[in-house]
């Protein structure tokens, strides 16, 4: 897709976070060498590879900035608000994405809330220099505080939606085994 021309089309698609994701971003012609990615995100779910839930499938991203691309601060601004994401507790719950420094990237409360940590590097003479802990910054304290408030609210729903993912998104968790075990007890309601 080409933006900004197709921005509304793009937003219509990625608004369905369980169905559409952005895997890579390449700049328009003339900005950098053609087809050279400036952002790449891992998006594969382990269940789709292994056929069942086999562990964490936390995404990773590499994003380039500066030199004709957005500045580092523009890239990080998207994490100043704790957006709700899928993936809390065995990938079966929604929770606020909390930007944290590497020291606080350990998820303990119900295996969450979901966290994002970032390391920044400079490139000098074909060598990576760094890293800098990008979210170890008091500028993200408000986002972390808001994420904690949202986490409290979401956890109070217990095993129910909207904290738990919708049924269609639970197909790669342990829910299919529970349904299989109980299938002879279900009746059609007329």
Nearest one of 85, 82, 120 to 101, comparing CA atoms: 120
Q: Which pLDDT band holds residue 140 (cuts at 50, 70, 90)?
A: very high
Instruction: Decide if 66 is inside a domain.
Output: yes
Q: Give me the pLDDT at residue 45, please.
A: 61
Q: Give me the pLDDT at residue 170, please.
A: 74
- 11 or 171: which carries more pLDDT confidence? 11
Residue 24 has φ and ψ, to the nearest 5°, of -155, 155
Q: Give me the pLDDT at residue 143, please.
A: 98
Domain span at 126: 42-185
Instruction: Decide if 13 is inside a domain.
Output: no
Instruction: Decide if 70 is inside a domain.
Output: yes
Instruction: Decide if 10 is inside a domain.
Output: no
Instruction: Decide if 12 is inside a domain.
Output: no
Helices (H), 80-174: 88-91, 141-155
Instruction: Reply yes or no on whether the pLDDT at 172 is more than 70.
Output: no
User: 3-state DSSP call for residue 98?
Assistant: strand
* Distance from C-alpha of 174 to C-alpha of 93, rounded to nearest angstrom: 13
Span 38-70, pLDDT tens digits? 999 986 665 555 556 555 567 889 999 988 889
Tell me what the pLDDT averaged over the chain comes to.
87
User: How many domains are contained in the chain?
Assistant: 1
Q: Which pLDDT band holds residue 171 (cuts at 50, 70, 90)?
A: low
Q: What's the CA dihedral at 147, 152, 153, 159 to 10 degrees?
A: 120
Average pLDDT over residues 109-132: 92
Environment class of 43 (CB within 10 Å of its CB; exposed 0-12, middle 13-18, buried 19+):
middle
* Distance from C-alpha of 145 to C-alpha of 178, rounded to nearest angstrom: 36
Span 1-26, pLDDT tens digits? 999 999 999 999 998 887 888 899 99
Instruction: Decide if 14 is inside a domain.
Output: no
Q: Give me the pLDDT at residue 177, please.
A: 85
Instruction: Decide if 58 is inside a domain.
Output: yes
Q: Are strands 119-124 and 61-63 parallel, antiparallel or unpaired?
A: unpaired
């Amino acid at each position: 897709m080409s933006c900004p021309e197709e921005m509304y089309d793009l937003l219509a698609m990625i608004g369905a976070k369980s169905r559409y994701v952005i895997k890579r971003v390449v700049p328009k012609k003339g900005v950098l060498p053609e087809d050279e990615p400036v952002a790449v995100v891992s998006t594969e779910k382990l269940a789709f590879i292994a056929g069942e839930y086999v562990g964490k499938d936390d995404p990773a991203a590499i994003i380039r900035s500066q030199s004709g691309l957005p500045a580092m601060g523009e890239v990080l601004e998207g994490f100043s608000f704790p957006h709700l994401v899928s993936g809390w507790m065995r990938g079966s719950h929604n929770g606020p994405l909390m930007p944290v420094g590497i020291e606080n990237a350990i998820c303990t409360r119900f295996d969450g809330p979901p966290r994002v940590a970032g390391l920044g590097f400079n490139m000098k003479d074909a060598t990576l220099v760094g890293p800098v802990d990008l979210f170890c910054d008091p500028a993200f304290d408000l986002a972390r505080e808001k994420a904690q408030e949202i986490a409290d609210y979401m956890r109070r729903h217990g095993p129910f939606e909207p904290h738990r993912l919708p049924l269609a998104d639970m197909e790669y968790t342990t829910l299919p085994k529970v349904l299989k075990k109980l299938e002879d007890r279900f009746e059609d309601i007329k």
